[in-house]
Structure formats: C-alpha cells, structure tokens
C-alpha cells in the first residue's frame, strides 16, 4: 500500500514538471546537489576505480548519475526506483551510458560497494507515523543487504522549525536513527547535521 501511493505521487510530479528537480519533488537544483554531496561522502577512496559500484536507491530520473559523470566518476551505477515512469525517463536520459542500469525490480539490483538514497523517506502522505517508520527500517535493511562497504540516506529532521513542517511529510529524530543504525547495522555510523537544510544524512559503513 505504501509503495503504491508513493509511486503515484512521484509519477504525478514527473508528469507535471518533467525530469527536473521539481519533478523529483525537490525545491531546487542547488538543494538537490547539496544532498548528493553529503551522500557521496559515503564513497571511500577508490570509489572511482574501474570496478567500483553504486546503487542509487530511489534513483528517480537519474540526477545523481549526471553528477557522477560530470565529475568524471566512471563507477558502475545501478538505479532502482518503484516508479516505472521515473525509470523510463532515466533510461531515455542515460541510454548511451554503458556503465549504468535502471530497473523497477529490486531483485534485479546487484550488490554494490555503496548504496545511496536521497529523499525517499520524506513523503509520508496519509500513512501513519508508526507504519512509515516500519517501512523506513525495512528499506534500510534492504539497502544494507545490497551494500558491501557502506550505505547512506537522508531524512527530514525533528529539529526542523515546527511552523515550517508539513503534515504529509515524515520527520525523524536524528539521534534515534543514529542509535538504530548503530545497533542494527554497524558500529561505524556518521551523522551529518551541519548543512543548511532541515534534514540530516546518516552514513553507515561496514
């Protein structure tokens, strides 16, 4: 049920705004890039090696791949998204990239050195907070299983100003999420909450 409503939401955004930051529900290209920069800190040295690989979990139209290639990173890229419309847009945009794959089937995604997810936990819509938190933890477990070295994700923060919050979005306690990742996935966890957005990034290393 959660995946169905989320898929419809992003398909509608894409139809309205096209393969752009707004089409992926970001306010601007600048904020989208800032999020990518924080997540990419999860890539270790050697992340540009010929055999390096990355899973973009909730890849949308492949904006992260644009950033990687613009910076000369030729690592193997595997994009996964529940939205078939997003995947079709990504395939069209990156048809010439022989080191990139896109799919809506999680079972078709290979394990990689690193898995990144940007913004996939934000839009709660009408789902209950407890139900959404369970979905978050299940998704993190899937990301952990896909990763051999690290995974990273971002979430809206409960430190956000109350008057700026939206009822349809999910805000997580960064300290609780840090603790959950330390206890469940790895003792090597970094919490980044020092950039000018109402969110945080967690990096979990193996």
List the chain domain ranges.
2-205
10-residue averages of pLDDT along the chain (206 residues): 77 79 76 94 72 95 95 95 94 97 97 96 90 96 97 97 89 98 98 96 96
Q: Which of 177, 103, 105 is nearest to 140 (CA)?
A: 177
pLDDT score of 180:
98
Q: What angle do CA 169, 156, 202 make, to 5 degrees?
A: 140
Question: Residue 163: what pLDDT?
Answer: 86
**Residue 68: what pLDDT?**
95
CATH number for region 2-205 = 3.40.50.150
Q: Left (φ > 0), alpha (ψ -120 to 50) or beta: where does 77 sit?
A: beta
């Amino acid at each position: 049920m959660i995946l169905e409503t989320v898929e419809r939401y992003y398909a509608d955004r894409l139809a309205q705004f096209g393969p752009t930051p707004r089409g992926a529900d970001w306010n601007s290209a600048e904020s989208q890039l800032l999020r990518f920069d924080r997540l990419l800190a999860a890539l270790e040295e050697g992340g540009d090696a010929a055999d390096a690989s990355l899973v973009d979990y909730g890849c949308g139209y492949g904006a992260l791949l644009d950033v990687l290639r613009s910076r000369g990173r030729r690592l193997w890229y595997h994009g996964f998204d529940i939205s078939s419309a997003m995947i079709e847009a990504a395939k069209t945009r990156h048809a010439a990239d022989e080191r990139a794959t896109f799919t809506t089937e999680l079972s078709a995604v290979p394990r990689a050195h690193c898995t990144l997810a940007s913004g996939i936990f934000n839009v709660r819509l009408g789902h209950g907070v407890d139900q959404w938190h369970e979905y978050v933890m299940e998704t993190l477990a899937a990301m952990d299983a896909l990763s051999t070295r690290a995974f990273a994700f971002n979430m809206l923060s409960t430190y956000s100003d109350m008057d700026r919050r939206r009822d349809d979005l999910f805000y997580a306690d960064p300290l609780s999420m840090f603790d959950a990742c330390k206890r469940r996935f790895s003792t090597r966890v970094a919490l980044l909450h020092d950039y000018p957005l109402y969110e945080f990034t967690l990096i979990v290393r193996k």
